[in-house]
């Protein structure tokens, strides 16, 4: 599946709610003009997704309010013991709140001194830079790069997401230490704000959280995480947006409808290279139009050279038939939104073992069968018939968020920021005035 970033947009006549860093605003939804096919379109640039959260279905906004500002969680901590009360923040928020407290009590209390740049420091190293490193990590300046320092550096690396902990204070580790604990505390606070925008406790019987920062999906029942699985999410250039939307149905044995832009730029090119056998070899068919009553068309009746050179998009439809070759696999989980985002199966199971930030914005499920059994409350029956519409017994809220910090029993661990959302969120949440964070 390929995502078209340069799609043209038009305004719809209805609105969505965006929980922003500055306020809660009502903004027109934008959608690709004409038929889109089964591909995402870019979220408008007006939605700055460092913190901004798009509530496609307004009833899913259980915390956003008009003129809402992000909380300064460095100065105001929610009491996790209140998590059982009606309307308390999401359990993921509570876990991060505890993690922030533990981080401040461990790494945050250490001297925030700078370590001069230089060669990597490791076991056996001595000198002023080793003494500075020991001081920075709360050890006595004497002792050189001994086993105690080695273990402390390894622990620091593990917490701060600096690759496989090797106990060597190289360039990345020194740079991280020199950023200081305030930088990392702010990252925790940013993630707390994102988690705060997830559903409050007792808001829903069950819901799904897709975390594109971790490339994981979590299933919640009664505000308790009951299952999880790996997912494949958008690549850096085709980010999976932060949004909330209701899942209302699934389709078994789905078609993949090729966007008109790709019919013009890709399908026509393939026909030129491979001939009309391309359609049979890759299980495509052509329909007269995008209506429900579109008729099958013989590809040889179409001037594909003209399609490729035309300034306008084709009005006929090209779709890939259901089967093991189909990029949506055996089931597509639909949740109406004008960004073209949905969850689906995939035939490429081996991809879950590698880099999982490779999709064009949609979410590929590691185990669609288990997911379907949970959202339906049973394993839905289906046959070999294509495009079977399977309505959910009850709409399931889906929250797509982005977390770069994970709570642990001893505090937190930091993860990479593949989308750069943390960098966007820093000025949204913290005004740099004398180095102090903005007040809530």
pLDDT tens for each residue of 325-366: 998 999 999 999 989 899 999 999 999 999 999 998 999 999
pLDDT(25) > 50: no
Mean local confidence (pLDDT), 214-230: 96
Instruction: For the chain, give the mean pLDDT.
Output: 87
Tell me if 95 sits within 8 A of 407, measured CB to CB. Answer: yes
pLDDT value for 58 = 80
* ∠ CA 13-17-21, rounded to 5°: 140
Residues with a known catalytic role:
344, 362
pLDDT value, residue 2: 45
Instruction: Give the mean pLDDT of 266-281.
Output: 95
What pLDDT, on the 0 to 100 scale, is given for residue 86? Answer: 63
Give percent above pLDDT 90 in the chain: 71
- pLDDT confidence of residue 32: 41
pLDDT at position 42: 77
Pick the more confident residue, 387 or 48. 387
pLDDT-derived band at 68, boundaries 50, 70, 90: low
Measured CA to CA, the distance from residue 302 to residue 14 in angstroms comes to 37
pLDDT of residue 40: 81
Please check the confidence at residue 1 and state whether its pLDDT lies above 60: no
DSSP tag of 53 = E
How do beta strands 343-344 and 363-365 pair? parallel
Lowest-confidence segment of 82-91, 179-188, 202-211, 328-337 by average pLDDT: 82-91
Contact 370, 380 (CB under 8 A): no
Residue 31 confidence (pLDDT): 40
Whether the pLDDT of residue 379 is over 50: the answer is: yes
Q: Integer distance in angstroms from the first to the last C-alpha of the chain?
A: 42
pLDDT at 397 over 90: yes
Q: Where are the alpha helices (DSSP H) in 138-259?
A: 147-159, 171-179, 181-196
Judged against a pLDDT cut of 60, whether residue 37 lies above it is answered with yes
Segment 399-419 mean pLDDT: 96
pLDDT of 3 strictly over 50: no
Residues paired with 408 in a beta bridge: 411
For position 213, what pLDDT does the model report? Answer: 97
Q: Are 363 and 341 in contact (CB under 8 A)?
A: yes
Inform me whether the pLDDT recorded for 11 exceeds 80. Answer: no
Note the helical H segments in 146-180.
147-159, 171-179
Q: What angle separates helix 128-136 from helix 147-159, to the nearest 10 degrees? A: 60
Identify whether the C-beta of residue 206 lies closer than 8 Å to the C-beta of residue 221. yes
Task: Give 433's pLDDT tier (boundaries 50, 70, 90).
Answer: very low
112-165 pLDDT tens trace: 999 999 999 999 999 999 999 999 999 999 999 999 999 999 999 999 999 999
Domain-wise residue ranges, the chain: 256-320
The answer to whether residue 100 scores a pLDDT higher than 60 is yes
- Residue 12 confidence (pLDDT): 36
160 and 169 in contact (C-beta within 8 Å)?
no
pLDDT, residue 10, reads 33
């Amino acid at each position: 599946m390929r995502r078209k970033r340069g799609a043209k947009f038009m305004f719809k006549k209805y609105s969505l709610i965006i929980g922003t860093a500055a306020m809660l605003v009502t903004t027109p939804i934008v959608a690709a003009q004409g038929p889109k096919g089964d591909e995402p379109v870019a979220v408008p640039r007006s939605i700055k997704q460092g913190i901004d959260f798009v509530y496609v279905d307004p009833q899913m906004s259980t915390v956003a309010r008009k003129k809402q500002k992000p909380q300064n969680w460095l100065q105001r901590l929610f009491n996790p013991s209140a998590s059982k009360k009606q309307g308390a923040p999401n359990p993921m928020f509570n876990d991060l709140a505890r993690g922030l407290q533990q981080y401040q009590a461990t790494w945050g209390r250490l001297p925030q001194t700078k370590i001069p740049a230089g060669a990597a420091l490791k076991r056996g190293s001595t000198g002023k830079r080793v003494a500075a490193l020991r001081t920075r990590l709360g050890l006595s300046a004497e002792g050189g790069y001994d086993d105690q320092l080695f273990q402390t550096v390894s622990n620091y690396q593990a917490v701060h997401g600096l690759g496989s902990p090797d106990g060597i204070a190289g360039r990345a580790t020194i740079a991280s230490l020199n950023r200081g604990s305030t930088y990392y505390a702010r990252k925790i606070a940013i993630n707390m704000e994102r988690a705060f925008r997830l559903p409050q406790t007792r808001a829903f019987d069950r819901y799904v959280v897709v975390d594109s920062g971790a490339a994981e999906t979590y299933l919640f029942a009664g505000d308790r995480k009951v299952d999880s699985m790996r997912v494949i999410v958008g690549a850096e250039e085709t980010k999976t947006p932060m949004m909330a939307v209701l899942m209302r149905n699934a389709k078994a044995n789905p078609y993949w409808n090729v966007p008109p832009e790709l019919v013009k730029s890709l399908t026509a090119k393939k026909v030129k290279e491979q001939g009309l056998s391309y359609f049979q070899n890759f299980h495509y068919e052509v329909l007269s139009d995008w209506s429900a009553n579109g008729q099958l068309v013989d590809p040889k009746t179409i001037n594909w050279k003209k399609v490729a050179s035309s300034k306008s998009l084709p009005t006929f439809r090209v779709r890939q038939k259901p089967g093991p070759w189909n990029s949506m696999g055996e089931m597509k989980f639909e949740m109406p939104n004008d960004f073209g985002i949905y969850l689906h199966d995939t035939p490429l199971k081996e991809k879950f073992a590698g880099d999982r930030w490779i999709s064009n914005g949609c979410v590929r499920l590691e185990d669609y069968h288990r997911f379907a059994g949970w959202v339906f409350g049973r394993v839905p029956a289906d046959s070999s018939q294509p495009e079977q519409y399977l309505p959910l017994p009850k709409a399931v809220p889906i929250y797509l968020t982005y977390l770069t910090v994970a709570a642990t029993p001893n505090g937190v661990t930091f993860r990479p920021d593949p989308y750069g959302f943390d960098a966007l969120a820093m000025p949204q949440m913290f005004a740099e005035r004398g180095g102090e964070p903005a007040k809530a």
